[in-house]
Protein backbone atom coordinates (compact mmCIF):
# COMPACT_ATOMS: atom_id res chain seq x y z
CA UNK A 1 0.00 0.00 0.00
CA UNK A 2 1.25 3.50 -0.80
CA UNK A 3 2.15 5.96 1.95
CA UNK A 4 -1.12 7.76 1.19
CA UNK A 5 -3.03 4.65 2.27
CA UNK A 6 -4.20 3.90 -1.27
CA UNK A 7 -3.72 0.38 -2.66
CA UNK A 8 -0.71 0.19 -4.98
CA UNK A 9 -1.87 -1.24 -8.30
CA UNK A 10 0.52 -2.21 -11.07
CA UNK A 11 -0.43 -1.28 -14.64
CA UNK A 12 1.31 -3.06 -17.52
CA UNK A 13 3.07 -0.95 -20.15
CA UNK A 14 3.40 -1.60 -23.88
CA UNK A 15 6.43 -1.03 -26.08
CA UNK A 16 6.39 1.69 -28.71
CA UNK A 17 9.09 3.16 -30.91
CA UNK A 18 9.06 6.95 -30.79
CA UNK A 19 11.62 8.34 -33.17
CA UNK A 20 14.82 6.38 -32.71
CA UNK A 21 14.11 5.37 -29.13
CA UNK A 22 11.99 2.52 -27.68
CA UNK A 23 9.56 3.58 -24.97
CA UNK A 24 7.37 1.83 -22.41
CA UNK A 25 3.99 3.56 -22.42
CA UNK A 26 0.58 3.29 -20.77
CA UNK A 27 -2.57 5.07 -21.92
CA UNK A 28 -3.63 7.73 -19.45
CA UNK A 29 -7.19 6.37 -19.40
CA UNK A 30 -5.91 3.21 -17.68
CA UNK A 31 -4.03 5.17 -15.05
CA UNK A 32 -7.05 7.40 -14.38
CA UNK A 33 -9.31 4.37 -14.08
CA UNK A 34 -7.13 3.15 -11.21
CA UNK A 35 -7.26 6.56 -9.53
CA UNK A 36 -10.93 7.37 -10.14
CA UNK A 37 -12.47 3.92 -10.42
CA UNK A 38 -10.48 1.62 -8.15
CA UNK A 39 -9.40 4.42 -5.78
CA UNK A 40 -5.83 3.23 -5.97
CA UNK A 41 -2.36 4.49 -6.82
CA UNK A 42 -1.13 3.29 -10.25
CA UNK A 43 2.41 2.04 -10.71
CA UNK A 44 3.57 1.54 -14.31
CA UNK A 45 5.29 -1.82 -14.86
CA UNK A 46 7.59 -1.89 -17.90
CA UNK A 47 7.43 -4.73 -20.39
CA UNK A 48 11.13 -5.30 -20.88
CA UNK A 49 10.96 -8.91 -22.01
CA UNK A 50 13.68 -10.00 -19.60
CA UNK A 51 13.76 -12.13 -16.50
CA UNK A 52 12.51 -9.99 -13.65
CA UNK A 53 12.12 -10.85 -9.96
CA UNK A 54 8.39 -11.39 -10.44
CA UNK A 55 7.61 -12.55 -6.92
CA UNK A 56 9.53 -9.63 -5.43
CA UNK A 57 7.55 -7.23 -7.61
CA UNK A 58 4.18 -8.77 -6.84
CA UNK A 59 4.91 -8.81 -3.10
CA UNK A 60 4.92 -4.99 -3.27
CA UNK A 61 1.59 -4.71 -5.11
CA UNK A 62 -1.99 -4.80 -3.88
CA UNK A 63 -3.36 -5.47 -7.37
CA UNK A 64 -2.37 -5.57 -11.01
CA UNK A 65 -4.09 -4.58 -14.26
CA UNK A 66 -3.28 -5.87 -17.73
CA UNK A 67 -4.30 -3.24 -20.25
CA UNK A 68 -5.56 -3.19 -23.79
CA UNK A 69 -3.10 -2.46 -26.58
CA UNK A 70 -2.85 -1.90 -30.34
CA UNK A 71 -0.77 -5.11 -30.43
CA UNK A 72 -1.88 -8.73 -30.36
CA UNK A 73 -0.48 -11.76 -28.56
CA UNK A 74 1.84 -13.60 -30.94
CA UNK A 75 -0.10 -16.70 -32.07
CA UNK A 76 2.73 -19.15 -31.43
CA UNK A 77 1.85 -18.77 -27.74
CA UNK A 78 -1.45 -20.57 -28.38
CA UNK A 79 -0.36 -22.76 -31.31
CA UNK A 80 -2.21 -20.52 -33.75
CA UNK A 81 -1.29 -19.98 -37.37
CA UNK A 82 1.09 -17.14 -38.19
CA UNK A 83 -0.45 -13.67 -38.19
CA UNK A 84 -1.11 -11.81 -41.38
CA UNK A 85 1.79 -9.64 -42.48
CA UNK A 86 1.67 -6.22 -40.86
CA UNK A 87 -0.05 -7.40 -37.67
CA UNK A 88 1.21 -5.43 -34.69
CA UNK A 89 2.92 -7.59 -32.06
CA UNK A 90 4.78 -6.79 -28.85
CA UNK A 91 6.99 -9.78 -28.02
CA UNK A 92 8.55 -8.02 -25.02
CA UNK A 93 5.10 -7.55 -23.54
CA UNK A 94 4.24 -11.21 -24.18
CA UNK A 95 7.46 -12.26 -22.44
CA UNK A 96 6.57 -10.07 -19.46
CA UNK A 97 2.83 -10.51 -19.04
CA UNK A 98 2.31 -14.21 -19.66
CA UNK A 99 4.48 -15.38 -16.73
CA UNK A 100 3.35 -12.41 -14.63
CA UNK A 101 -0.34 -13.33 -14.95
CA UNK A 102 0.26 -16.87 -13.76
CA UNK A 103 2.41 -15.71 -10.85
CA UNK A 104 -0.11 -13.05 -9.79
CA UNK A 105 -2.94 -15.57 -9.68
CA UNK A 106 -0.81 -18.14 -7.83
CA UNK A 107 0.11 -15.48 -5.24
CA UNK A 108 -3.48 -14.29 -4.82
CA UNK A 109 -2.89 -10.77 -6.17
CA UNK A 110 -6.17 -9.18 -7.37
CA UNK A 111 -6.05 -9.03 -11.14
CA UNK A 112 -8.06 -7.28 -13.86
CA UNK A 113 -7.42 -7.97 -17.56
CA UNK A 114 -8.83 -5.65 -20.23
CA UNK A 115 -8.98 -6.44 -23.97
CA UNK A 116 -5.43 -7.62 -24.74
CA UNK A 117 -5.09 -8.39 -21.04
CA UNK A 118 -8.23 -10.55 -21.26
CA UNK A 119 -6.76 -12.36 -24.25
CA UNK A 120 -3.43 -12.82 -22.47
CA UNK A 121 -5.24 -14.43 -19.54
CA UNK A 122 -6.98 -16.86 -21.90
CA UNK A 123 -3.66 -17.80 -23.52
CA UNK A 124 -1.98 -18.32 -20.14
CA UNK A 125 -4.65 -20.88 -19.27
CA UNK A 126 -4.19 -22.76 -22.54
CA UNK A 127 -6.94 -21.09 -24.55
CA UNK A 128 -6.78 -19.91 -28.15
CA UNK A 129 -7.92 -16.82 -30.04
CA UNK A 130 -9.79 -15.98 -33.21
CA UNK A 131 -7.37 -13.61 -34.92
CA UNK A 132 -10.06 -11.99 -37.07
CA UNK A 133 -13.58 -12.33 -35.70
CA UNK A 134 -15.05 -10.53 -38.70
CA UNK A 135 -13.80 -13.28 -41.01
CA UNK A 136 -15.27 -16.17 -39.02
CA UNK A 137 -18.78 -15.46 -40.27
CA UNK A 138 -20.75 -16.17 -37.10
CA UNK A 139 -20.14 -13.02 -35.08
CA UNK A 140 -21.53 -9.50 -35.07
CA UNK A 141 -19.18 -6.63 -35.85
CA UNK A 142 -16.94 -6.11 -32.84
CA UNK A 143 -14.51 -3.66 -34.42
CA UNK A 144 -14.72 0.09 -33.97
CA UNK A 145 -14.85 2.59 -36.82
CA UNK A 146 -11.31 3.94 -36.67
CA UNK A 147 -12.35 7.03 -38.64
CA UNK A 148 -14.98 7.99 -36.06
CA UNK A 149 -14.33 10.31 -33.09
CA UNK A 150 -13.15 8.53 -29.93
CA UNK A 151 -16.51 9.23 -28.28
CA UNK A 152 -18.12 7.10 -30.99
CA UNK A 153 -15.43 4.43 -31.12
CA UNK A 154 -15.71 3.84 -27.37
CA UNK A 155 -19.45 4.44 -27.19
CA UNK A 156 -21.86 1.70 -26.16
CA UNK A 157 -22.08 -0.90 -28.91
CA UNK A 158 -23.92 -4.01 -27.75
CA UNK A 159 -25.39 -5.79 -24.77
CA UNK A 160 -23.70 -8.52 -22.76
CA UNK A 161 -25.56 -11.19 -20.83
CA UNK A 162 -24.06 -11.80 -17.40
CA UNK A 163 -23.84 -15.28 -15.92
CA UNK A 164 -25.97 -15.57 -12.79
CA UNK A 165 -23.93 -16.10 -9.65
CA UNK A 166 -20.74 -14.89 -11.29
CA UNK A 167 -18.34 -12.25 -10.09
CA UNK A 168 -19.62 -9.69 -12.60
CA UNK A 169 -23.27 -10.42 -11.93
CA UNK A 170 -22.70 -10.02 -8.20
CA UNK A 171 -20.86 -6.72 -8.71
CA UNK A 172 -23.52 -5.27 -11.02
CA UNK A 173 -26.67 -6.90 -9.65
CA UNK A 174 -28.35 -7.19 -13.09
CA UNK A 175 -28.58 -9.81 -15.82
CA UNK A 176 -27.44 -7.55 -18.67
CA UNK A 177 -25.28 -4.51 -19.34
CA UNK A 178 -24.28 -2.35 -22.31
CA UNK A 179 -20.61 -2.22 -23.32
CA UNK A 180 -18.36 -0.77 -25.97
CA UNK A 181 -16.70 -3.00 -28.57
CA UNK A 182 -13.20 -2.15 -29.76
CA UNK A 183 -11.56 -5.43 -30.71
CA UNK A 184 -10.71 -7.61 -33.68
CA UNK A 185 -9.72 -10.78 -31.84
CA UNK A 186 -11.65 -12.88 -29.36
CA UNK A 187 -11.83 -16.18 -27.51
CA UNK A 188 -11.84 -19.22 -29.76
CA UNK A 189 -11.22 -21.88 -27.11
CA UNK A 190 -11.63 -20.93 -23.48
CA UNK A 191 -8.65 -21.73 -21.31
CA UNK A 192 -8.87 -24.51 -18.76
CA UNK A 193 -9.71 -23.18 -15.32
CA UNK A 194 -11.61 -20.16 -16.62
CA UNK A 195 -15.36 -19.72 -16.28
CA UNK A 196 -17.49 -17.44 -18.48
CA UNK A 197 -18.85 -14.32 -16.83
CA UNK A 198 -20.54 -12.62 -19.81
CA UNK A 199 -21.56 -13.36 -23.40
CA UNK A 200 -22.19 -11.09 -26.38
CA UNK A 201 -25.48 -11.61 -28.26
CA UNK A 202 -23.60 -13.73 -30.83
CA UNK A 203 -22.37 -16.14 -28.14
CA UNK A 204 -18.82 -14.77 -27.96
CA UNK A 205 -17.35 -14.95 -24.46
CA UNK A 206 -16.83 -11.33 -23.40
CA UNK A 207 -15.70 -11.87 -19.81
CA UNK A 208 -14.41 -14.67 -17.62
CA UNK A 209 -13.04 -15.23 -14.14
CA UNK A 210 -10.50 -17.70 -12.83
CA UNK A 211 -12.03 -20.70 -11.10
CA UNK A 212 -10.74 -21.32 -7.60
CA UNK A 213 -8.67 -18.13 -7.64
CA UNK A 214 -7.48 -17.00 -4.22
CA UNK A 215 -8.66 -13.48 -5.00
CA UNK A 216 -10.38 -11.29 -7.59
CA UNK A 217 -9.27 -12.45 -11.05
CA UNK A 218 -11.40 -11.11 -13.90
CA UNK A 219 -10.88 -10.54 -17.60
CA UNK A 220 -13.19 -8.46 -19.82
CA UNK A 221 -13.03 -8.00 -23.58
CA UNK A 222 -14.51 -4.50 -23.59
CA UNK A 223 -12.97 -1.28 -22.25
CA UNK A 224 -14.45 -0.36 -18.85
CA UNK A 225 -11.61 2.09 -18.22
CA UNK A 226 -13.15 4.49 -20.75
CA UNK A 227 -14.66 7.38 -18.75
CA UNK A 228 -15.22 4.94 -15.92
CA UNK A 229 -16.94 7.44 -13.63
CA UNK A 230 -19.61 8.18 -16.25
CA UNK A 231 -20.76 4.56 -16.63
CA UNK A 232 -22.31 2.80 -13.64
CA UNK A 233 -21.48 -0.70 -14.92
CA UNK A 234 -17.84 0.16 -15.57
CA UNK A 235 -17.67 1.84 -12.17
CA UNK A 236 -19.01 -1.31 -10.52
CA UNK A 237 -16.20 -3.37 -12.09
CA UNK A 238 -13.49 -1.04 -10.83
CA UNK A 239 -15.11 -0.66 -7.43
CA UNK A 240 -15.09 -4.45 -6.99
CA UNK A 241 -11.47 -4.60 -8.16
CA UNK A 242 -10.45 -1.74 -5.87
CA UNK A 243 -12.20 -3.32 -2.90
CA UNK A 244 -10.32 -6.58 -3.51
CA UNK A 245 -7.03 -4.63 -3.69
CA UNK A 246 -7.73 -2.84 -0.41
CA UNK A 247 -8.65 -6.09 1.28
CA UNK A 248 -5.48 -7.72 0.02
CA UNK A 249 -3.41 -4.77 1.25
CA UNK A 250 -4.95 -5.05 4.70
CA UNK A 251 -3.84 -8.68 5.01
CA UNK A 252 -0.20 -8.09 4.10
CA UNK A 253 2.69 -7.60 6.49
CA UNK A 254 5.40 -5.57 4.77
The residues annotated with a catalytic role in the active site are: 115, 223, 225
Q: How many Å apart are CA 189 and CA 30, to the nearest integer?
A: 27
CB 233 within 8 A of CB 224: yes
For residue 44, give the 3-state DSSP assignment. strand
Q: Are 7 and 245 in contact (CB under 8 A)?
A: yes
**Residue 44 dihedral angles phi and psi, to the nearest 5°:** -75, 130
DSSP type of residue 16:
E
Total number of residues shown for the chain? 254
Four-residue CA torsion sign, 167, 170, 176, 179: negative
d(CA 15, CA 49): 10
Kind and range of the H or E run holding 194 = strand 194-199
Is 26 within 8 Å of 44 (Cβ atoms)?
yes
Amino acid sequence: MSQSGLPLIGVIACNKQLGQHPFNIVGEKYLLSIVDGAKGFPLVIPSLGIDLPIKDLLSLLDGIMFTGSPSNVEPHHYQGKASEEGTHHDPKRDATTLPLIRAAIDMGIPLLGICRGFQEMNVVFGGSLHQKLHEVGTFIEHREDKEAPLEVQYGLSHQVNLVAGGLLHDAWGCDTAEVNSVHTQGVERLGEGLQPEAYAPDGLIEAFSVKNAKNFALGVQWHPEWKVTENAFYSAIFEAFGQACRHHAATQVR
